Amino acid sequence: MSKTKEIIATARAENRTFLLEHESKAIMQEYGIPVTKFGVATTEEEAVQLASEIGAVVLKVLSPDILHKSDAGGVFLNLQTADEVRAAYQQILANAEKYKQGARITGVIVQEFAKQGVEIIIGSIKDKQFGNTLLFGLGGIFVEVLKDVSFRVAPIIPYDAREMITEIKGYPILTGIRGKEPCDIDAIVNILLQVSKLVTDYPEINELDLNPVFSYPKGAKCVDARIILEEKT
Ligand code: ADP
Ligand code: MG
């Protein structure tokens, strides 16, 4: 069985429609979408061990009861030492409990602290009429305030992906302004195409969110991923 099938089956068996970050990122990996190196810790010791293998790390809460990890005080960035990792691990558990009493904790994801890039958002949502609809935009205020996003119905071809990228108002930010190096557009095109393929292959995916992806002069990296399955009918 493919990894993606397996992960969806596990979630179904546990009556979950929400795939956690480590599950969503494993699916991205199967589709050749670059994600941060990661591992899952269920003890403080495991977190320290994983961190020592990765280097500077990020710790985040993994809980079926927490959709937005930072809202729950569940994201700790750029941890450099074992002590910082231990403190963050404990703080994540405490914050989760404070945020939602009795929140189930699957573990803590330990991942590489990715170098800053241009933040972009890639998503897919199932529209009742059109089916899987892909979304592209720049991260932060560009999406939330300015609604500067583009849409296409999946499946898409490379031409569509390129248009999705070039038609947003913020496109010049990706081509390099004020002496900044241009972003690797081909890498973004590749992610859009792979997401299109994934949601087409698995109609049970209702919603997919790569928010954010860091775009670089060479390549791109997805630092957060979330998939929501359709309710079982
Ligand atoms: P949420 O569930 O709240 O969306 P995220 O995983 O997106 O949590 O983390 C919140 C923010 O932290 C991101 O928007 C990004 O700016 C930053 N971040 C998350 N993971 C990483 C990482 N591995 N490396 C660098 N920055 C990260
Ligand atoms: Mg996010």
User: What is the share, in percent, of the chain residues with pLDDT greater than 70?
Assistant: 100
Q: Is 77 in the pocket of ligand 1 (CB under 6 A)?
A: yes
- For residue 233, what pLDDT is reported? 63
pLDDT digits (tens, 9 = 90+) for 21-76: 999 999 999 999 999 999 999 999 999 999 999 999 999 999 999 999 999 999 99
Residue 165 has pLDDT above 80, yes or no: yes
Q: Whose CA is nearest to atom 13 of ligand 1?
A: 212
Q: Whose CA is nearest to atom 23 of ligand 1?
A: 113
Q: How far is the CA of 128 from the centre of ligand 1 (A)?
A: 30
Q: Which ligand 1 atom minimizes the distance to the CA of 115?
A: 25
Q: Which ligand 1 atom minimizes the distance to the CA of 58?
A: 23
- For residue 177, what pLDDT is reported? 81
d(CA 147, CA 100): 30
Distances (CA, A) of 191 to 118, 121, 125, 145, 216: 15, 11, 16, 24, 13
Q: Is 114 in the pocket of ligand 1 (CB under 6 A)?
A: yes
- For residue 226, what pLDDT is reported? 98
Ligand found nearest the CA of 119: 1
What is the third-level CATH fold of 118-229? D-amino Acid Aminotransferase; Chain A, domain 1 (3.30.470)
Residue 143 has pLDDT above 80, yes or no: no
Structure letter (DSSP) for residue 36: -
Contact 186, 231 (CB under 8 A): no
Q: Is 69 in the pocket of ligand 1 (CB under 6 A)?
A: yes
- Would the pTM of this model clear 0.95, i.e. be above it? yes
Q: Which among 95, 224, 227, 228 is the best mutation to test ligand 1's pocket, defined by most ligand atoms within 8 Å of the CB?
A: 224
Residue 158 has pLDDT above 90, yes or no: yes
- For residue 223, what pLDDT is reported? 98
d(CA 222, CA 211): 8
Q: Is 58 in the pocket of ligand 1 (CB under 6 A)?
A: yes
d(CA 146, CA 49): 42
Q: Where are the domains of the chain?
A: 3-112, 118-229
What is the third-level CATH fold of 3-112? Dna Ligase; domain 1 (3.30.1490)
Q: Is 111 in the pocket of ligand 1 (CB under 6 A)?
A: yes
pLDDT digits (tens, 9 = 90+) for 166-204: 999 999 999 988 888 999 999 999 999 999 999 999 999
Q: Is 212 in the pocket of ligand 1 (CB under 6 A)?
A: yes
Structure letter (DSSP) for residue 35: B
